[in-house]
Structure 1
Amino acid sequence: MIRIGIVGVGKIARDQHIPAIAADTALELVAVASHGPADVGVPAFGSLEAMLEQGPDLDAIALCTPPQARRETARIALRAGKHVLLEKPPGATVGEVGDLSALAAKQGVTLFAAWHSRFAAGVPAARAWLTGRSIRSVDIQWREDVRHWHPGQGWIWEAGGLGVFDPGINALSILTEIMPQAVFVTGAHLQIPENVQSPSAAQLALSTLDGVTITADFDFLQTGPQTWDITVVADDGTLRLSHGGAVVEIDGKPVVQATAAEYPALYARFTQLIRSGRSEADSRPLALVADALLIGTRERVAAFIE
């Protein structure tokens, strides 16, 4: 059994991490650390340091904290010789992910940047279909309701919290996984509410080196049905990933139809990496967000009201 501690017992930990660990016979949740309530049936501590010093023996730590403070927390865990899973985004900056990767290698432990959307059921089929094909265009529509998915989470609007790129980076993680060529940002327009630091909406233009046009429309204020779709047009057909990657259609015909069950597969991958002594810390999705923030034009819009 791999004994895991969780740092940050918020919505994502309760909704996804804890159930996925409980369902995996190779894993055991033995402790948590959180500033807030953490009544999840295992010993709870006020900090990672307290959990390491006073808690049960741990093999691995899953960091589910906001990204702004994650670097130092991850460094503490890695220095203690623990394998580390980083909830997405893996850090507040691209540079710190590289630093953590170097530290993990030095310590001889696993670092896993957990891009959960890459573990959606349809992603492998989409990648396989696109391999070797001539791609004409890609369109991403990724729109959801922040009030539903992140109620009362003010950190997401602060500098480093990413705003609409918190869900949008999920689409970019799928894009970088399924595209046969490297992708880069060529333009961006960001709508930023007047009372926060991070965008509530963004429109991106991207391209590959061989000129494939990619557009992305991100919105954090959509109510009603949520939209998580990627459409790829190739010379010989059209592929559509929907429901966040759980459903794949090719030329309108269903190829994969599944439910959104990404985290069990994500933790299975973490276990595999630990047992094989490897790390996996891809920073490409975060780099695309950073580039969009670097070159994007900014438009101030009406204040965000919770």
Structure 2
Amino acid sequence: MTMDSPIPLAIVGVGKIARDQHLPSISRTPAFALRAAVSRNAEVDGVQNFTDIEACLAARPDVKAVALCLPPEPRFAAAITALEAGCHVLLEKPPGATLGETDVLADLAREKGVTIFATWHSRFAPAVQPAKAFLADRAIRKVTITWREDVRRWHPGQGWVWEPAGFGVFDPGINALSILTEILPDEALLRAARLEVPENAATPIGVTMTMGIAGGGYEIDADFDWRQEGPQTWEIAAETDGGLMSLTGGGKTMAVDGKVVSDEPEAEYDGIYKRFADLIEAGESDMDMRPLRLVADACLLGRRVAVEPFHE
């Protein structure tokens, strides 16, 4: 299909990530025009607001695309509703509470002939593609991920992150895994994991993962932690025959042996909406589940260790 005019879009879930990232990027993307918002306790100025997606789509049949910014657990039902109505669907990460859910959504989108896009916003950080190009023809010796941040700063008052399907520290950790699976020339496979779960929570506050690649080769170590105060750390380092490649700032800056080779302004969510528009125009979908599969494998294979209760 060819888009001659902006696609009418509704945003579902008007929380911090929607206001900080989605709404500004939608306003900057000519391919979309925001027409409605859905939230139980918030509104977006300048558009029609609803408290549930069913009412929104019934009242606004002009809406042809939906951006789902809900937590993972309720997102599945909203996605089914949107797909059944013939809407293109953008899924905030993680794309589902289970791999089974994402399979169902991909199949339904195919059946309805619409686009579904599982977004991994960190893949659109400016230094990710330069890092991928650098590693493509290098011998990799070891990869280390350090993703440590303060949950109180980034998820204040959001108790759902500690409940089943809330993902715990995997909520940010999956960002690192989305970059890893994008830049590596090989498929990462989980070998072992340790999940530190507060006594009053169902999801981990700290995780270590050991990964490798099929047939051996090199090791990949990951350290995710939600207890870091002060400066936050989002780093991936790869030891190669061409030097030590490091991605810092969540993929914003790339350096080789300490020399910065890529450092551009962050525009992750602008990239997401451009990609969504391109997929719709091409009549395609993008449901890469490799980051979610690594999280699922860690939960299957990992050793759970109880740690002290978490109190905000």
- TM-score using structure 1 length: 0.98
Find 2:249's aligned residue among 221, 243, 254.
243
Q: Which residue of 2 aligns with 1:276?
A: 282
Q: Which residue of 1 aligns with 2:64?
A: 59
1:56 Cα shift?
5.7
Q: Which residue of 1 aligns with 2:110?
A: 105
Matched to 1:37, the amino acid is: A
- Tell me if the contact between 1:30 and 1:56 (Cα under 8 Å) persists in the aligned partners: no
Q: Which residue of 2 aligns with 1:170?
A: 175
Q: Which residue of 1 aligns with 2:86?
A: 81
Q: Does the alignment pair 1:228 with 2:234?
A: yes
- Tell me if the contact between 2:37 and 2:44 (Cα under 8 Å) persists in the aligned partners: no
In 2, Cα distance between equivalents of 1:169 and 1:223: 20
Q: Which residue of 2 aligns with 1:94?
A: 99
1:127-146 superposed Cα distances (whole Å, 9 cap, x missing partner): 01111221110000001111
1:301 Cα shift?
1.0
In 1, Cα distance between equivalents of 2:76 and 2:61: 23
In 1, Cα distance between equivalents of 2:301 and 2:115: 34
- Tell me if the contact between 1:31 and 1:56 (Cα under 8 Å) persists in the aligned partners: no
The runs of at least 4 aligned residues of structure 1 exceeding 4 Å deviation read none
Q: Which runs of no fewer than 5 residues in structure 2 stay unpaired?
A: 1-5
Alpha carbons of 1:40 and 1:206: their partners in 2 closer, same or farther (altered >3 Å)? farther
Q: Which residue of 1 aligns with 2:161?
A: 156
1:95 Cα shift?
1.3
In 2, Cα distance between equivalents of 1:38 and 1:291: 38
Find 2:51's aligned residue among 32, 46, 52.
46
Matched to 2:57, the amino acid is: L
Q: Does the alignment pair 1:208 with 2:232?
A: no
- Tell me if the contact between 2:208 and 2:221 (Cα under 8 Å) persists in the aligned partners: yes
Matched to 1:303, the amino acid is: P
In 1, Cα distance between equivalents of 2:271 and 2:194: 34
- Tell me if the contact between 1:35 and 1:46 (Cα under 8 Å) persists in the aligned partners: yes
1:48-76 superposed Cα distances (whole Å, 9 cap, x missing partner): 00100123611100000000121121011
1:243-280 superposed Cα distances (whole Å, 9 cap, x missing partner): 00010001211111123320001110000000110000
In 1, Cα distance between equivalents of 2:123 and 2:115: 19
Q: Which residue of 1 aligns with 2:134?
A: 129
In 1, Cα distance between equivalents of 2:62 and 2:242: 55
Secondary structure of the residue aligned to 1:92 is coil
Deviates more, 1:111-120 or 1:260-269: 260-269
Q: Which runs of no fewer than 5 residues in structure 1 stay unpaired?
A: none
Find 2:266's aligned residue among 252, 260, 263.
260
Find 2:119's aligned residue among 114, 129, 148.
114
Matched to 1:219, the amino acid is: D
1:39 Cα shift?
3.5
Deviates more, 1:211-220 or 1:164-173: 211-220
Matched to 1:233, the amino acid is: E
In 1, Cα distance between equivalents of 2:151 and 2:47: 30
Matched to 1:94, the amino acid is: L
- Tell me if the contact between 2:191 and 2:211 (Cα under 8 Å) persists in the aligned partners: yes
What RMSD over aligned residues (CA atoms) do the two structures have, in Å?
0.9
